[in-house]
Amino acid sequence: MESPRAIDDPATTLSRQLSVVATREHGVSAEQLPLIGIDPGLFDAFYGANLESLQRFVTRRVGDPERAADLTADIFLAAIESAHRFQPRSTPRAWLYGIARVIVAEDRRRGARERVREERLRGSALLDEEEAARIDRRIDADVESRQLYEAMDCLTEGERAVLELVAIDELSVTEAAAVIDVSPVTARVRLHRARRKLRVATTSPNSSTEEQQS
């Protein structure tokens, strides 16, 4: 006698649907993250939960909307490709920002070289007018943040990294520590030093002159 065809168990199907709903409401957990490369539902939830904050992260550092769109897409592609190697020592958000920092830094290094025409055309094709306008608005809104970002040249790389993640990208000190792979104590020390240096660096150069004249 032939065995009956395997059919989906209604209870299993319902459980899967409830799991997707819960994931969309609460985000992809550290346990689920390694599966985003093979489970479209999990990736959609991860993408939806992180797209806006990741775009803010990129546009604060990049002034061109096409370039920002390309980098955002590259970051998510890199996340898909490396998700199976994720270790739950940090949060999914901190892990994604770690990838973003690497890709944005690599792009900045390439920025000194002129991009080929094909890349420009590819970026233009990916953006419709509405998407380009939305990224333009976000870039305009983040001008002040980018100016602060540029003022961080007085900091060491480690100090700059933790300050931008905490002060600009609104991560907790613990999350920032996970992104740059240091202990929370080290991150706090670097944050304190960075804030102190930045206060000195952003003090008006005319203040001492005014004090002498008064």
**Domains of the chain as residue ranges with CATH:** 28-141 (1.10.1740.10), 142-202 (1.10.10.10)
What integer pLDDT is reported at residue 11 of this predicted model? 47
118-134 b/e with 16+ CB inside 10 Å = b?
A: eeeeebeeebeeeebee
Q: How do residues 66-83 score in pLDDT, each as one tens digit?
A: 888 999 999 999 999 999
Burial 156-189 (b: 16+ CB within 10 A, else e): eebbbbbbbbbbbbebebebbbbbbebeeeebbe
**What's the chain's average pLDDT?**
75
Question: Is the pLDDT assigned to residue 1 strictly greater than 70?
Answer: no
**pTM score, whole prediction:** 0.64
Is 206 a residue whose pLDDT tops 60? Answer: no
Q: What are phi and psi of 55, to 5 degrees?
A: -60, -40
| C-alpha of 214 from chain center | 47
Using CA atoms, how far apart are residues 8 and 79, in angstroms rounded to an integer?
A: 31
Question: What pLDDT was estimated at residue 97?
Answer: 93
Residue partners of 114: CB distance under 8 A and separation at least 6: none
Whether pLDDT at 126 is above 80: no
- Helix, strand, or coil (residue 15): helix
| Amino acid 170: pLDDT | 84
pLDDT over 90 (residue 2): no
Cβ pair 97, 179 in contact under 8 A? yes
Collapsing DSSP states into helix, strand and coil, what is residue 31?
coil
pLDDT at 101 over 80: yes
The pLDDT value given to residue 139: 53
How many Å apart are CA 119 and CA 191, to the nearest integer?
37
Residue 198 Cα to chain centre, angstroms: 23
Mean pLDDT of 156-182: 88
Q: Residue 175 pLDDT more than 80?
A: yes
| Whole-angstrom distance, CA of residue 31 vs CA of residue 37 | 13
Question: Taken in order 78, 83, 85, 90, is the CA torsion positive or negative?
Answer: positive
Residue 173 near residue 188, CB atoms below 8 Å? yes
- pLDDT tens sequence across 23-44: 656 678 888 899 999 988 889 9
Q: Given pLDDT bands bounded at 50, 70 and 90, which one contains residue 210?
A: very low
